[in-house]
Structure 1
Amino acid sequence: MVCRSLLLVLESKGLIKLPHRKFTPANPLAERKKPSGVTVDNTSIYGSLADLFPINLEQVRRTPFEKIFNGLVSEYHYLGYTQPIGEHLKYMAFSGGRPVACLAWGSAPWYIGARDRFIGWSKKARERNLHLIANNLRFLILPWVQVSCLASYLLASNRQRLSQDWQDLYNHPVYLLETFVDTERYHGTCYKADNWICVGQTTGLGKLSKSREPLLSKKAVYVYPLTKHFRRELCYDA
């Protein structure tokens, strides 16, 4: 796969000419079926945060609840569901046995200028330590749940256990959390309430851009250090 990618890059630069492609191999990720719909109690939930207690936050990856998580995110998150690549964890929050929210965390993107400047790491350190950052891929409060402060409460609850959960599954901790907020849709209120730091914005180029013209909407970049020594851990490149 690496050799094929290199050959395609060389051809795109006009350095070589590859023979005509005989066939296009199947891409199991592109052909992945959309998650099945799920039926849950969607009776409206109003009131104060205290009315929901106790709230149970469960890690549901590789459990029977994972299909429910996938179905809810597919149906109710504006970005839909995309199967994460690489290391990832999925959480569901329950109140009175009913799901009220879903959170997904995954591997961090290779290069985010605002984030990388905030960390101050070298290219070598980034190559070595990128896996020590977790990206908040999805955060969904189910649409029939209208409870003030629930989102920031769940963020705080999740980040307090995330590094240990990562350690348990992948044998290493995470030291920094990040997320991208589409400011055309949201203000990032719950991240601000949980004391996340806005360090800039994305360029909007995306992974597939071959020019400097933005392909995507620019997003605010928020980070949350899980330890005061996060720079020491992330910038280590020996």
Structure 2
Amino acid sequence: MDQAIPSRLCGRPFNETDLARLRQEIALAQPPLRAEIARRVCRALEWTDIQGRPKLMSARVGLLRLHRAGLIVLPPPTCGNGNGRRFVPRPESRPEPIPVSVPLRALSGLRLARVDDRRASQLWNGLIERYHYLGYSPLPGAQLRYLIQWDGGLLGAIGFGAAAWKVAARDRWIGWTPAQRQAHLGRVLNNARFLILPWVQVKHLASKVLSLAARQVSVDFPARYGERLVLLETFVETPRFAGTCYRAANWHDLGETTGRGKCDRTHRAALPRKAIYVYPLAADFRAALGVVA
């Protein structure tokens, strides 16, 4: 059965008239491709940024949400997202391993450089594939990626993607209903990858980067996707990691996942358990997520 029409979609007001226009643009799209539909929707709904450029990524994220809710039907994707294919990093994504072992205050110019072009993207992907224990896979949905830099060079990488659809402990802590979660999940972002390069040994660097990232995504996410961001989440595999840097950066520990995962059908909890951490970006985050006090 179709879900209720959301009152907002990726930060913009949305109603039945908009939904009808979307369905019309889907029917008229030639060729019938998701990219072409996103372009038509941006023109039809005047979905542009402050410089008048079509917000194609926001449109595609919003269209996918409506498709998954049963409100529209999108054509099948014509290109895979790389799942099932081994990612081979480029040689230039292997930086020279120059040891960095200094006090945190000595890292002049510590910053997060947003990944905005192909070269930076290839570097980020390669670093994650080579040095992160999970390796590289495309981040889902709305996303932001950064290279961790200082005046002396490269220190690591951090990336955020779409929030998990259902997490029992998180959802209880927020206090939202399934309908509220569906309507407002786009205001939650998942810290899916975090890498400090293995030759970088700087005490408290990880928690400092998390603090920088919380401020940065609060600005970059609405600028890119037109939606206010109010909560971050992450999942830390235990006992591989203790989650110390998240606690030091004042993230809230909500307990552990069940180890089942979204594809579990046998109820055997075969996946590693993960600690659940969240970080509110606003005092009114529950109200922004639809929870009525």
TM range (shorter): 0.7 to 0.9
The root-mean-square deviation of aligned C-alpha atoms, in Å, is 2.0
Which residue of 105, 108, 115 maps to 2:163? 108
- In structure 1, the partner of 2:287 is 232
Residue 113 of structure 1: CA displacement?
0.5
- In structure 2, the partner of 1:83 is 138
Which residue of 90, 94, 107 maps to 1:39? 94
Aligned pairs for 1:1-238 (under 5 A) are 27-30=80-83, 32=85, 34=87, 35-37=89-91, 38-236=93-291
* Aligned equivalents of 1:195, 1:115: Cα separation in 2: 16
Distance of aligned partners of 1:26 and 1:164 in 2 relative to their CA distance in 1, 3 Å threshold: closer
CA contact (8 A) 2:113 2:146 kept: yes
CA contact (8 A) 2:230 2:288 kept: yes
* Aligned equivalents of 1:26, 1:232: Cα separation in 2: 38
CA contact (8 A) 2:251 2:279 kept: yes
* Aligned equivalents of 2:190, 2:81: Cα separation in 1: 24
* Aligned equivalents of 1:167, 1:32: Cα separation in 2: 32
Distance of aligned partners of 1:26 and 1:68 in 2 relative to their CA distance in 1, 3 Å threshold: closer
Distance of aligned partners of 1:233 and 1:99 in 2 relative to their CA distance in 1, 3 Å threshold: same
* Aligned equivalents of 2:191, 2:90: Cα separation in 1: 23
Looking at both structures, which has the greater relative contact order when contacts are Cα pairs under 8 Å and sequence separation is at least 6?
1
SS of the residue aligned with 2:232? strand
Higher strand fraction: Structure 1 or Structure 2?
1
CA contact (8 A) 1:119 1:235 kept: no
Q: For each residue in 1:97-118, what CA deviation from the matched residue of structure 2 results, as whole angstroms up to 9, or x when unmatched?
A: 5110200001001100010000
- In structure 2, the partner of 1:14 is none
* Aligned equivalents of 1:159, 1:26: Cα separation in 2: 33
CA contact (8 A) 2:163 2:185 kept: yes
CA contact (8 A) 2:175 2:291 kept: no
Amino acid at match of 2:90: S
CA contact (8 A) 2:187 2:230 kept: yes
Q: For each residue in 1:66-101, what CA deviation from the matched residue of structure 2 results, as whole angstroms up to 9, or x when unmatched?
A: 111110110000000111121111011112251102
CA contact (8 A) 1:120 1:235 kept: no
How many pairs were matched up?
A: 215
* Aligned equivalents of 2:263, 2:181: Cα separation in 1: 21
CA contact (8 A) 1:36 1:71 kept: yes
Please, which runs of 5 or more residues in structure 2 have no aligned partner?
1-63, 69-77
CA contact (8 A) 1:125 1:235 kept: yes
CA contact (8 A) 2:235 2:277 kept: yes
Please, which runs of 5 or more residues in structure 1 have no aligned partner?
6-24
Residue 213 of structure 1: CA displacement?
1.2
Amino acid at match of 1:190: C
**Percent identity of paired positions between Structure 1 and Structure 2:** 38
* Aligned equivalents of 1:26, 1:178: Cα separation in 2: 29
Residue 61 of structure 1: CA displacement?
3.6
Residue 62 of structure 1: CA displacement?
3.5
* Aligned equivalents of 2:95, 2:207: Cα separation in 1: 24
Higher helix fraction: Structure 1 or Structure 2?
2
